[in-house]
Amino acid sequence: MTKKEMACIVCPMSCHLEVTLDDNNNMIEVIGNTCKRGEVYAKSELKNPVRMLTSTVKLEGGLYKRLPVITSVNIPKDKLFDVMKEINKIEVCAPIKVGDIIISDVCGLHADIVASRSVERTDGDNRTESNTCNSK
DSSP state string for 11-32: STT--EEEEEE-TTS-EEEEES
Between 129 and 79, name the one with better pLDDT: 79
Cα–Cα distance for residue pair 87/111, rounded to 1 Å: 13
- Strand partners of residue 96: 119
Whether 127 shows a pLDDT value over 60: the answer reads: no
111-125 pLDDT, tens digit per residue, is 999 999 999 999 655
How confident is the model at residue 25, as a pLDDT? 87
**59: phi then psi, degrees, rounded to nearest 5:** -130, 130
pTM of the model as a whole: 0.80
Average pLDDT (20-31) is: 92
CA-wise closest residue to 113 among 83, 85, 81, 79: 83
58-88 pLDDT, tens digit per residue, is 999 999 999 999 999 999 999 999 999 999 9
72: number of Cβ within 10 Å: 17
Strand segments, DSSP code E, in 72-120 are 75-76, 91-93, 101-103, 113-115
